[in-house]
A and B are shown apart, each in its own frame.
Chain A
Amino acid sequence: MRGLLVGMCLLAAAPASAQSSVTQPDDAAEARQGPSVQFRGFADINFAATDNHQSDDGRSADGFSLGNVVGHVSASLGGKFSFYSEVTVNNKDNKFIVDVARAILRYDYNDRFKVSVGRYHAPIGYWNTAFHRGLWLQTTIFRPDLVKEEWFQPDHFVGIVAEGTLLPQVGLGYITGYGNGRELDLRDQGLQAADLFGDTENVGHHRAGVLRLFARPPQVTGVEFGGAVYHDKLASTGTNGVPELITSAYVAITREAPEIIAEFSNLRHTYYGVDYNSQAFYVQLGFRFPAQPRLKPYTRYEKADAPGDEPVTGDLSNSKASAGIRFELTDFATVKVEYGQRRHPGAPHQNGVFAQTAFTF
């Protein structure tokens, strides 16, 4: 309860000066002179009815659930500094968990070089940075398994990041970062974990690096493609660490008619000299009919393959097919209804019908 109160206070503390996506002229002058803060919130409420009477992630029973309440602040601090923050409140097991998902202080030198410090959505692929917990932004009800919390790849990244444009003529850009590795405790995977100094309580003392290249060709709207490399060394007792290498590629066509988003990622752990490679991908198609712009049917297929003896993540192999429809209640609120079937090797298929209302405010 205290967490909920703290979260709501944090959300409410942000000024409500800019409730629309486009600001009014009154703040044009002050934008050049001092802090100009814009607040936006996201929230979603969900319903699930499944074969096994569990939610899609298996963490709770099916039925109604409150999803995320997200408060996002972006602030121009004057000069070339800006600040971004995202605070989320989640309901898990009837407890509210407050998380500062992002807090970023950024300095822009120019379009080619911007440097920042803080906590980010890990910039490894497309979905994780494009939508994350702003579920109103994404077409579907669920995030792909590939990007769900610490399942296949890191969710967040704490450190320093440089980003910018390399070739503006073709919209080629980069993001590179150096910081803390996975927020993952290997002891949860049954491994004896300790950092290089033998500390078994704080196993996150490793550093990771990431480089992502992407292109948004200005000649065509709504097209982005790119790839990333992420390297980390997970601490594990009795080893020099477990090297983790993630390579990924994606293409996103977000012109609505059609929408095509596809991502592929390969995860490699090297444990006692043996490489364990796991792969995950998803392909999502959507189409907003020009004659009925409030309606957007969509479908997605996703799959993960992994060695059964994968030492860190365990066997992730499964697949899921889903299809649904999104209906825009207003420009800022939507209802989604979705059917999904998940398949695990050697286990019965799990079917479910899900509904969600998601909105921004």
Chain B
Amino acid sequence: MRRFRSSILLALLCGSALSTSSVSAQGAGDLAIVTHPGTPVTQLTFTELRQVLKGDKQYWSPDLPVVLFVRAPTSAERSAVLDVIYQMSEPQFKQYWIAKQFRAESATSPKNMRSNELTQQFVASTAGAIGFMAAADVKSGVKVLKIDGHLPGEAGYKLHLTKTK
């Protein structure tokens, strides 16, 4: 009986480990949208996310402006966001922000982050900040937003580093 219980326990542990491994592997290929912990949102729809990242929504609340951090060119995270959210090439993305400032629609442009570690650091320490990074690199100190009701690693999550929507 004791051997039987041990077998069940072992099976449960293995199953649990496999399950965690499976979610982790799936989440590792996902792109997490992260915000400063004090940002008054826990989820966004995909279109709301597009408005925020394109600078069309510039305030979380009247006293809390959006501060946008993006990954530097050539990163997989930036490529995925340009492809899926902005639907622009790199030159178009540059021209978009030049034009947005020229039209006096935004006084600032996104801040370039050279690594996910920097993204984590700046988003965690800047009120109103939002950025994106590989889900596998997210550490405590930032809030991961649900997009269309899903977190990275969950079925139905739309943002992947593999650029597929």
On whether the beta carbons of B51 and A102 are closer than 8 Å, the reply is no
A28 on interface, CB distance cutoff 8 Å: yes
On whether the beta carbons of B103 and A171 are closer than 8 Å, the reply is no
Report the bound CA distance from A216 to B96 in whole Å.
14
Question: Which A residue sits closest to B123, measured CB to CB?
Answer: A28
On whether the beta carbons of B95 and A23 are closer than 8 Å, the reply is no
Report the bound CA distance from A163 to B102 in whole Å.
16
User: Chain A interface: which of B12-20, B27-35, B85-93, B146-154?
Assistant: B85-93
Task: Bits for A184-222, please: 1 = Cβ < 8 Å to B, else 0.
Answer: 000000000000000000000000000000001011011
On whether the beta carbons of B59 and A21 are closer than 8 Å, the reply is no
Question: Which B residue sits closest to A18, measured CB to CB?
Answer: B109
Given A25-B118, A76-B108, A111-B57: A218 and B51 within 8 A (CB)? Answer: yes
A280 on interface, CB distance cutoff 8 Å: no
Task: Give the residues in chain A near B62, CB-CB below 8 Å.
Answer: 109-110
Report the bound CA distance from A221 to B108 in whole Å.
21
A27 on interface, CB distance cutoff 8 Å: yes
Given A108-B59, A168-B57, A218-B47: A25 and B97 within 8 A (CB)? Answer: no
Report the bound CA distance from A27 to B67 in whole Å.
12
On whether the beta carbons of A28 and B69 are closer than 8 Å, the reply is yes
B134 on interface, CB distance cutoff 8 Å: no
User: Which of B69, B70, B91 is close to A331, meaning CB atoms less than 8 Å apart?
Assistant: B91
Task: Give the residues in chain A near B98, CB-CB below 8 Å.
Answer: 21, 40, 137, 360
Per DSSP, chain A at the interface is mixed
B101 on interface, CB distance cutoff 8 Å: yes
Task: Bits for B66-101, please: 1 = Cβ < 8 Å to A, else 0.
Answer: 010110000000000000001111111111111101
User: Which of B47, B51, B86, B112 is close to A22, meaning CB atoms less than 8 Å apart?
Assistant: B112
A295 on interface, CB distance cutoff 8 Å: no
A350 on interface, CB distance cutoff 8 Å: no
CB B130 to nearest CB in A, in angstroms, measures: 12
Task: Bits for B121-136, please: 1 = Cβ < 8 Å to A, else 0.
Answer: 0100011000000000
On whether the beta carbons of A40 and B87 are closer than 8 Å, the reply is no
A293 on interface, CB distance cutoff 8 Å: yes
On whether the beta carbons of B56 and A134 are closer than 8 Å, the reply is no
Task: Bits for B15-57, please: 1 = Cβ < 8 Å to A, else 0.
Answer: 0000000000000000000000000000000011011001011
On whether the beta carbons of A31 and B104 are closer than 8 Å, the reply is no
Task: Give the residues in chain A near B93, CB-CB below 8 Å.
Answer: 21
Task: Give the residues in chain B near A82, CB-CB below 8 Å.
Answer: 107
Task: Give the residues in chain A near B104, CB-CB below 8 Å.
Answer: 74, 84, 102, 104, 106, 120
User: Which of B50, B99, B110 is close to A218, meaning CB atoms less than 8 Å apart?
Assistant: B50
A32 on interface, CB distance cutoff 8 Å: yes
Question: Which A residue sits closest to B90, measured CB to CB?
Answer: A331
On whether the beta carbons of A24 and B94 are closer than 8 Å, the reply is no
Question: Which A residue sits closest to B126, measured CB to CB?
Answer: A28
Given A108-B59, A137-B95, A328-B91: A23 and B109 within 8 A (CB)? Answer: yes
